[in-house]
Structure 1
Amino acid sequence: MDVSLPTTPAAEALALRYGPDAVPAAGPWNEHIALLLTHRSVRGYRPDALPAGTLETLIAAAQSAATSSNLQTWSVIAVTDSDKKAALAKLANNQKHIEQCPLFLIWVADISRNQRLGQQEGVTLEVMPYLETFLVAAIDAALAAQNATVAAESLGLSCVYIGALRNQPQEVAKVVNLPSGTFGVFGMCVGYATEAALGEVKPRLPQEVIVHHEAYRVPDDEAQRRSAYDGLIGGFSARNEMATDTWTKRVIGRMGKLAALSGRDKLVATLHAMGFELK
């Protein structure tokens, strides 16, 4: 197994990430940064088993992420059972890569462990019902998952996040026996990519659109910059045999109609039912 890190020169890696016309100035560089810039979502996996101890390594990396006040309000469910993966795939719009990957991780916002701590110590934890507590747990889970992704990619593995688990979170909870006070924030496929699925690095918005110095400022030429990025994404889609589309149309398609939320417009009520009061 080849676990060597990418050695892509900075200029080349930045051009792949931003396109040739929006390459930012190259700064300090190392193999770790090169690895980060090669990230791409992978939706096709070989059936190859992962090396022994891979899960433990990924979780050690995940637990090394920042966690607010060391509260550690997240958990993860490691799923390898084919029947459970099939059930989860069905709940997530039939995404077949959930069934293909040898390891599927569900990253959980988990206040239940600390709720039990309070009960065992006979203490009322007054902050538990508040939105901030759920937000901390969701952010903790996301930070941990990203650490795990970087670790996996450094080992020659590929990943893709599965936000569609939030379409039917209560049904997901039944599949993996989540208690009250827990919520599957997203899933993650982990495995070896098929050659066809690896694809190229997807360009991102230019840094000038994302970075604001000292204060937020909307650029006068925002529409023109967006148009240029639309062209870049259109080319990417065509080369990778994806539905040719612009970023503008993608945003409108995903955010223009409630139907695009696939049931997630009811998340507040769902979270209440799953033990998060969200005051």
Structure 2
Amino acid sequence: MTEQPAPSAHCTSQPGGGTAGLASAGPADRLRSRYGHPVGWQPPEWNDTLDLMLRHRSTRRYLDKHVPEETLRTVIAAAQSAPTSSNQQIISALAIRDQAKKDAVAEIGGPFQKHIKHAPVLVIWLIDFSRAKHLADEAQRDPVGLDYLDIALVGACDAGIHAQNALVAAQSLGLGGVYLGSVRNDSEKLAEVLDLPSDVIPFVGMELGYPDPDEEAGIKPRLPQESFLHIDAYDADAVPEQIRVYEETLAEYYRDYDMDPSWGRRLVSRLGEKATFATQRHRLADFLRSRGLGLK
């Protein structure tokens, strides 16, 4: 998540949810921006929620404007309204305004994450087993479920679902934000910086603030639906051609940047040895075990 968004020649900035041309843009315009080209279908109906979601973009520059506590709490209420597996609610959120802590998180993220320092609010989504362990201790029961991989995946899934609810709610209130996988660059150090209990695991970060309208950031096209959506059976034959189409779309999107425009090369590079061992993320399983998870 170190990549900076590229400007789009077809978009102008809007606060609170992204750039997608004029405020009056219709579904065809939103879909064209999202996929980088016109699509051969139209939504049966359109509403403000769909418009907000399809014009999403990441925000990394913010106005020097305070995010009121009531606004933050409303965003968190929206997050808590998300589904949670079996109502276990094994996640929490840590909102950070303290500048020293934001600076420390930015340092963990690395040189491309300096924007963390300038975000009015930083939220760290936590996989939180403290309540479950407390209840198990009271009941004198052994929480053997913590010995298995599934519970870690449940926590990660719930954290992602809740965080996305929060981001959509924030954008509906005029805020912007960006996810921060970089907080996992050194999970052990992050847990120390945040003074987290041993049964609480930092999983993903999120900046929130009022977007700077001068930030040049467009809507990054996604994979063609022909490559993403499979109906009744997985269509492996469509993958190579749709990758080629997507490569062409992103090459145009990144045309003004001195960087490799190939999505495929970027993806393979991210999975390569250099990127894998550039941070402490390859030690994440060891960190999870140190927090009491078995991962069997």
**TM-score bracket, shorter-length normalisation:** over 0.9
CA drift at 1:130: 1.3
**Does 2:243 correspond to 1:222?**
no
Aligned 1:198-237 pairs, distance under 5 A = 199-219=217-237, 221-237=238-254
Q: CA contact under 8 A between 2:17 and 2:175: conserved in structure 1? A: no
Verify: 1:186 aligned to 2:228, yes or no: no
Q: How does 1:1-279 map to 2 (within 5 A)?
A: 7-22=24-39, 24-94=41-111, 95-197=113-215, 199-219=217-237, 221-239=238-256, 241=257, 243-260=259-276, 262-279=279-296
In 2, are the aligned partners of 1:109 and 1:137 still within 8 Å (CA)? yes
How many pairs are equivalent? Answer: 276
The one-character-per-residue Cα deviations of 1:179-230 (angstroms, maximum 9, x if unpaired) are 12221111000001223435111100011101111121202x5323212211
> Which has the higher mean CA deviation after the structures are superposed, 164-173 or 114-123?
114-123
CA shift for structure 1 position 259: 3.0
User: Is the contact made by 2:27 and 2:42 (CA closer than 8 Å) also made in structure 1?
Assistant: no
Describe the shift of the 1:260–1:242 C-alpha distance in structure 2 as closer, same or farther (beyond 3 A): farther
Distance of 1:260 and 1:23 partners within structure 2: 39
Q: 1:161 to 1:15 in 2, by over 3 A?
A: same
Matches of 1:113 and 1:78, distance apart in 2: 19
* Paired letter, 2:26: P
Give the 3 Å change call, closer, same or farther, for CA 55–229 of structure 1 in structure 2.
same
- Deviation larger for 66-75 or 120-129: 120-129
Kept after mapping to 1: 8 A contact 2:127/2:155:
yes
Q: State the TM-score, normalizing by the size of structure 1.
A: 0.92
Structure 2: distance between partners of 1:4 and 1:202: 13
Distance 2:274 2:132 in 1: 34
Aligned-partner residue type, residue 168 of structure 1 = D
Q: CA RMSD in A?
A: 2.0
Distance 1:22 1:218 in 2: 21
Q: CA deviation at 1:244?
A: 4.4
Identify the range of structure 1 (269-278 vs 64-73) with the bigger mean alpha-carbon deviation: 269-278
Letter in 2 for 1:8: A
Distance 1:238 1:126 in 2: 53
State the identity %: 37
Structure 2 gap ranges (5+): 1-14
- Displacement of 1:20 in angstroms is 1.8
Q: Which runs of 5+ in 1 are unaligned?
A: none
Query: 1:250 offset after TM fit, Å?
Result: 1.2
C-alpha contact 1:149 1:159 (8 A) present in aligned 2:
yes
Q: Residue 198 of structure 2 contacts residue 291 of structure 2 at CA under 8 Å; is this kept in 1?
A: yes
What's the offset of the Cα at 1:23? 5.2
| C-alpha spacing 1:121/1:7, structure 2 compared with 1 (3 Å) | farther
* Counterpart contact for 1:111–1:134, Cα < 8 Å: no
TM-score, normalised to structure 2, is 0.87
